[in-house]
């Protein structure tokens, strides 16, 4: 009897604790529902690209020119692999991701959560905005799972944010947080400018998450996970491109393979403290208009010389580079409201943006343009923005045409060119003289300075 009594107590205890374990037994987290819906359309992107490691670019060109070799004893080509994320937005197999994930890829492979793998092809992308479209190569008429786009303009700080991606290659990892802030601006890793209008989230984002979706609680894509702050400097600071920005350019990427950039039609420069004081302005934030192109969208909207551009829609402007970055995030035909300060008054002007041609792109940056590179003398504002020491002399790169060879070999906005073929460059006049002697087919070697590092970049003009 005593044994039966002990067994009865044990049974009651088991039933009692089992009851505690079944609290909310029918509950399913809304996050689980989002993941079940979205994960099948999220892909792991494996990329193989050719990189060239060299110890002496001059010798590399020597061997290539005289011996037909692609590499010298002091350098070699190698295949490098990388991993990122993306998501299917069209059932025909179109995938949205970051440009830096698939840039100059020799081979692209995508893997779904069920393990199915497909080869993919690059359709189009843009390095400045860091968005790209790839497409699955499939001989069948297979329909692929997709994710619905949300409306990033309606995001509010504090609402749920869910990220799905492949951090460090760990396939289909889910992290959760909130929308921490909106309209953030951070410098690009290569020092070529800034990402603007970003969504900030504390949902964990790590290398390999790039290109994956940032979802709201309804399972809709509101952003493309793109960047993180160095973990040694801060934690839980991730950033995503608003999906509405990407949506503006999808048709261009699919049909043209590139993005048509919007055009405003102004010459601008940074508003330094010295300039602001001379002009009697109280604030130094913004970009001052030095010239308005006749007949341009800016001219038609009533923007005038000496206007200080303070905001473009809801994005604050603190420098001339902000204006370029923000305007380029819009498509031709978009309407924006530009807030300017004019003679102490705040004025809002509605502007209908037009399409930017290659000539217009170089014209909006003051300086001298040749072979796709626009350069100018280094100003004190440039030294502050790009951390250029006083001892560094040369010309600063203001713009690089994305389709140019110079861009492909890594020259970026903010680079200082110190030498051209061992000819020292101290100012714009030196550059004009040196570059005027270069013709199509010539090999040039540029010594550049960026973020404390000097290096030679070589390429063939017109290559």
Catalytic positions: 100, 130, 210
Tell me if 105 sits within 8 A of 305, measured CB to CB.
no
Q: What gap in Å lies between CA 240 and CA 225, rounded to an integer?
A: 4
- E strand segments, 203-344: 213-215, 221-228, 238-242, 262-263, 266-270, 287-292, 308-312, 315-316, 335-342
- The residues pairing with 441 across neighbouring beta strands, listed in sequence order, are none
Q: How far is Cα 307 from Cα 364, in angstroms, rounded to an integer?
A: 16
Strand-strand pairing, 266-270 and 221-228: unpaired
Q: Give phi and psi for 266, each to the nearest 5.
A: -135, 150
CB atoms within 10 A of CB 181: 14
Q: Which H helix or E strand runs over 3?
A: helix 2-21
Q: Please classify residue 461 by burial: count the beta carbons closer than 10 Å to its beta carbon, then call 0-12 exposed, 13-18 middle and 19+ buried.
A: middle
In whole angstroms, give the CA distance from residue 162 to residue 68. Answer: 52
């Amino acid at each position: 009897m005593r044994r039966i009594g002990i067994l009865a107590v044990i049974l009651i205890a088991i039933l009692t604790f089992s009851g505690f374990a079944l609290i909310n037994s029918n509950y399913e987290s809304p996050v689980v529902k989002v993941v079940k819906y979205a994960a099948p359309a999220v892909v792991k992107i494996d990329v193989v690209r050719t990189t060239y490691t060299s110890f002496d670019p001059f010798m590399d060109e020597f061997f290539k020119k005289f011996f037909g070799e692609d590499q010298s004893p002091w350098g070699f080509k190698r295949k490098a692999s990388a991993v990122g994320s993306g998501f299917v937005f069209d059932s025909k197999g179109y995938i949205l991701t970051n440009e830096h994930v698939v840039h100059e890829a020799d081979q692209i492979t995508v893997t779904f959560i069920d393990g199915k793998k497909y080869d993919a092809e690059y359709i189009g992308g843009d390095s400045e905005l860091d968005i790209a479209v790839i497409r699955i190569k499939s001989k069948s008429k297979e329909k692929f799972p997709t994710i619905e786009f949300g409306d990033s303009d309606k995001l509010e700080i504090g609402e749920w944010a869910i990220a799905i991606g492949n951090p460090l290659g760990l396939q289909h990892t889910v992290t959760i947080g909130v929308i921490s802030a909106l309209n953030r601006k951070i410098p690009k890793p290569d020092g070529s400018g800034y990402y603007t209008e970003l969504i900030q989230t504390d949902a964990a984002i790590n290398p390999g998450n790039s290109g994956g979706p940032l979802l709201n609680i309804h399972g809709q894509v509101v952003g493309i996970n793109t960047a993180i702050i160095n973990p040694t400097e801060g934690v839980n600071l991730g950033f995503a491109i608003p999906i509405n920005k990407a949506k503006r350019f999808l048709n261009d990427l699919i049909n043209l393979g590139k993005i048509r950039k919007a055009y405003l039609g102004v010459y601008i420069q940074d508003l330094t403290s010295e300039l602001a004081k001379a002009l009697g302005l109280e604030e130094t934030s913004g970009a001052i208009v030095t010239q308005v192109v006749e007949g341009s969208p800016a001219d038609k909207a009533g923007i005038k010389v000496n206007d200080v551009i303070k905001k473009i829609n809801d994005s604050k402007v603190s420098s001339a580079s902000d204006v370029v970055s923000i305007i380029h995030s819009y498509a031709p035909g978009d309407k924006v409201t530009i807030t300017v300060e004019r003679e102490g008054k705040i004025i809002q002007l509605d502007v209908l943006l037009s399409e930017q041609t290659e000539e217009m792109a170089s014209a909006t940056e003051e300086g001298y343009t040749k072979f796709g590179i626009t350069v100018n003398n280094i100003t004190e504002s440039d030294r502050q923005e790009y951390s250029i020491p006083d001892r560094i002399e040369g010309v600063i790169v203001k713009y690089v045409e994305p389709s140019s060879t110079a861009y492909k070999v890594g020259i970026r906005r903010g680079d200082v060119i110190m030498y051209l073929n061992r000819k020292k460059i101290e100012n714009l006049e030196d550059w004009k003289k040196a570059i005027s002697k270069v013709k199509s087919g010539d090999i040039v070697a540029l010594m550049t300075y960026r973020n404390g590092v000097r290096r030679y970049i070589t390429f063939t003009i017109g290559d």
